[in-house]
């Protein structure tokens, strides 16, 4: 077929005549005009984030408006956008707001708008095949290998987040260490039960991975932590020895780089040495903490991470890529691929659009995979890793700043030494009982959230309710930290009166109940 023939065929076909023939806009200029109007709204929303409440409840009538009946007839894009602006945009969780301190959520970037705009227009499926988006994902994975000093020969996959990354990694470890072909045979006929190890502070997704994969939560031994909330290395080794004696097959250890409660980092260097000696797979859950490697100040705390067999972490937390975007790296690429491949021959290269082997779907459970790599690639290129690392250092500086304010405050106390970016503290009034103090801090958290001033979250540290402030937000400044402490001071009397009334009422009711 000559070039001329091809060009002839490439001549645009006459557009369909009646509007119903395509879902495309009848008038592209009008469509562009509408998009620009929405873009103005969206940009204003982002640039004015400081002037809104950090969080507010979703009103009942808004919920009802969202829960509309099945849309059979077209409402048009303009109508739908109006609904978004009225019913969704004002009632977000608040993680883009500088005083959102709840849980470990990233805050996103403005540039992310542009990345997602392009991704939406391309509508790429990254399951596999031969197209440029695949090379973007490979590049992002190569960058991650460099960041964490993993060998060039290792493999990786972008996933929704660390929960999924942990599941993929434990699946690879399971299959690699299992004496039978798990994919073919399953686990039912194993003569020895496979067991893994993690600390009591590890994230619930590690246990969920064991459940999902048919290993069973009971087979994930929860090892106690030391006073820095790191896995107790002695206890780990004792448990491994005990399990071997009892006829179990130890196969993996899941270390944590940044526990969810207080950002503790396990001693990864020692874990790697133990795993080498015991021939165990070392997986590291570095959901947010792993990215601290970008900060000069904290890189040393992660020493040993480069010795892990697999590593899970998120882009949507501490480097502010939009939700969702996480990654798993696996040192042994062939072990990774052989846990998920569906074609036998790695090198049986198809041609044309079906080329591009190995496909990403051979490294995880998903075949349909959106182009989340673009927003990761975009964020890293737009800002550069040095700037992203500096923001991580800055978040940790603010955490220490808050820790100091707490230390100096007559009614506040830190419940754990500030590690990285998380501060767990509480309001303390000497006259109150332990139960009353818990209630007081619960009320404080709730009232803070309801005020819209700030969104901390709640956890328990040594069995005491803690106000937990997590700093993974590039918009947060010292002023925001000061506003948080001021708001606590202003809200404390109201919280206290609720608690005292609550306890008085419960006293009042006690006689009634016992006589009932």
Q: In the range 451-490, which residues lie near a second copy by CB under 8 A?
A: 451-453, 455, 457-458, 474-475, 477, 479-480, 483, 486-487, 490
Q: State yes or no: residue 405 binds a second copy (CB under 8 A).
A: no
**Within 42-101, which residues bind a second copy (CB under 8 A)?**
42-43, 45-47, 50-53, 55, 57-58, 62-63, 66-68, 70-77, 79-81, 83-84, 87-96, 98
**Which residues, other chains included, contact 346 with Cβ-Cβ below 8 Å and sequence gap of 6+?**
337, 357, 358
User: With respect to a second copy, which residue has the nearer C-beta, 259 or 271?
Assistant: 259
- Do 47 and 97 touch, CB atoms closer than 8 A? no
Return d(Cα 343, Cα 339) in angstroms, integer: 12
**Which tokens in the block code for residue 227?**
């006073």
DSSP 3-state percent helix, strand, coil across the chain (nearest 5): 50, 15, 35
User: Exactly one of 188, 462, 463, 514 binds a second copy (CB under 8 A); which one?
Assistant: 188
Provide the minimum distance between the beta carbon of 97 and a second copy in the complex, in angstroms, as a whole number: 11
**Within 287-326, which residues bind a second copy (CB under 8 A)?**
314, 316, 320, 322-324, 326
Provide the minimum distance between the beta carbon of 273 and a second copy in the complex, in angstroms, as a whole number: 28
User: With respect to a second copy, which residue has the nearer C-beta, 232 or 324?
Assistant: 324
Q: State yes or no: residue 151 binds a second copy (CB under 8 A).
A: no
Which part of the chain contacts a second copy (CB under 8 A), choosing from 149-157, 215-223, 267-275, 303-311?
Answer: 215-223
Q: State yes or no: residue 246 binds a second copy (CB under 8 A).
A: no
Return d(Cα 267, Cα 235) in angstroms, integer: 14
Question: Which run of H or E residues covers position 314?
Answer: strand 310-314
Q: State yes or no: residue 367 binds a second copy (CB under 8 A).
A: yes
User: With respect to a second copy, which residue has the nearer C-beta, 90 or 358?
Assistant: 90
User: Exactly one of 211, 270, 278, 436 binds a second copy (CB under 8 A); which one?
Assistant: 211
**Within 21-40, which residues bind a second copy (CB under 8 A)?**
21-25, 28, 31-32, 34-36, 38-40
User: Exactly one of 292, 374, 412, 422 binds a second copy (CB under 8 A); which one?
Assistant: 374
Return d(Cα 395, Cα 134) in angstroms, integer: 33
Return d(Cα 391, Cα 165) in angstroms, integer: 25
Q: State yes or no: residue 435 binds a second copy (CB under 8 A).
A: no
User: Exactly one of 18, 189, 348, 430 binds a second copy (CB under 8 A); which one?
Assistant: 189
Residue 269 CB coordination number (10 Å): 14
User: Exactly one of 18, 61, 132, 508 binds a second copy (CB under 8 A); which one?
Assistant: 132
DSSP E strands in 323-393: the ranges are 326-330
Size of the site for a second copy (CB under 8 A): 192
H helices within 182-232, ranges in order? 182-185, 204-212
Q: List, in sequence order, every residue forming a beta bridge with 249; answer none if it has no partner.
A: 194
H helices within 409-458, ranges in order? 434-451
User: With respect to a second copy, which residue has the nearer C-beta, 119 or 272?
Assistant: 119
Residue 300 sits at φ, ψ, to 5 deg, of -60, -35
Q: State yes or no: residue 429 binds a second copy (CB under 8 A).
A: no
Return d(Cα 237, Cα 243) in angstroms, integer: 10
Residue 219 CB coordination number (10 Å): 20
């Amino acid at each position: 077929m000559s070039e001329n023939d091809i060009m002839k065929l490439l001549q645009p076909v006459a557009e369909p005549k009646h509007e119903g023939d395509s879902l495309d806009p009848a008038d592209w200029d009008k469509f562009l005009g509408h998009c620009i109007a929405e873009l103005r709204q969206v940009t204003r929303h982002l640039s004015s984030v400081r002037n809104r409440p950090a969080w507010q409840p979703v009103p009942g009538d808004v919920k009802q408006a969202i829960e509309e009946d099945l849309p059979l007839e077209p409402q048009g894009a303009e109508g739908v956008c109006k609904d978004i602006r009225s019913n969704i945009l004002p009632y977000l969780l608040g993680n883009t707001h500088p005083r959102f301190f709840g849980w470990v959520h990233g805050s996103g970037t403005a540039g992310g708008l542009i990345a997602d705009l392009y991704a939406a227009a391309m509508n790429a499926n990254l399951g596999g095949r031969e197209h440029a988006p695949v090379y973007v994902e490979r590049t992002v994975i190569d960058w991650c290998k460099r960041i964490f000093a993993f060998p060039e020969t290792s493999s990786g996959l972008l996933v929704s987040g660390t929960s999924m990354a942990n599941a993929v990694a434990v699946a690879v470890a399971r299959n690699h260490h299992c004496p039978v072909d798990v994919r073919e045979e399953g686990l039912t006929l194993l003569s020895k039960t496979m067991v893994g190890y993690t600390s009591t502070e590890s994230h619930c997704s590690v246990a969920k991975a064991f459940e999902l994969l048919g290993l069973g939560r009971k087979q994930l031994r929860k090892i106690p932590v030391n006073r820095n909330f790191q896995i107790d290395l002695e206890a780990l080794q004792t448990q491994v020895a005990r399990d071997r004696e009892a006829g179990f097959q130890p196969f993996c250890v899941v270390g944590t780089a940044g526990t969810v409660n207080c950002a503790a980092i396990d001693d990864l260097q020692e874990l790697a040495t133990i795993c080498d000696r015991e021939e165990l797979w070392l997986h590291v859950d570095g959901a947010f903490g792993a990215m601290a490697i970008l900060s000069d100040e904290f890189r040393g705390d992660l020493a040993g991470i480069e010795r892990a067999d697999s590593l899970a972490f998120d882009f949507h937390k501490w480097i502010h890529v939009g939700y969702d975007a996480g990654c798993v790296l696996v040192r042994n690429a062939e072990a990774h691929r052989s846990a998920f491949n569906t074609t036998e021959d790695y090198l049986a290269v198809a041609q044309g659009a079906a080329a591009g082997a190995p496909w990403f779907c051979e490294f995880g459970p998903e075949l349909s995979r959106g182009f989340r790599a673009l927003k990761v690639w975009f964020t890293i290129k737009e800002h550069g890793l040095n700037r992203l690392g500096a923001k991580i250092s800055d978040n940790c500086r603010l955490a220490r700043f808050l820790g100091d304010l707490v230390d100096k405050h007559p009614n506040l106390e830190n419940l754990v030494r500030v590690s990285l970016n998380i501060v767990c503290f509480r309001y303390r009034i000497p006259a109150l009982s332990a139960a009353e103090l818990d209630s007081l801090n619960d009320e404080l958290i709730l009232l803070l959230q309801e005020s819209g001033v700030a969104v901390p979250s709640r956890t328990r540290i040594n069995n005491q309710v803690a106000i937990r402030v997590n700093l993974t937000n590039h918009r947060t400044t010292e002023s925001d930290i000061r506003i948080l402490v001021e708001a606590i001071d202003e809200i404390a009397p109201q919280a206290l009166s609720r608690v005292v009334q609550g306890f008085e009422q419960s006293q009042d009711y006690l006689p009634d109940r016992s006589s009932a």
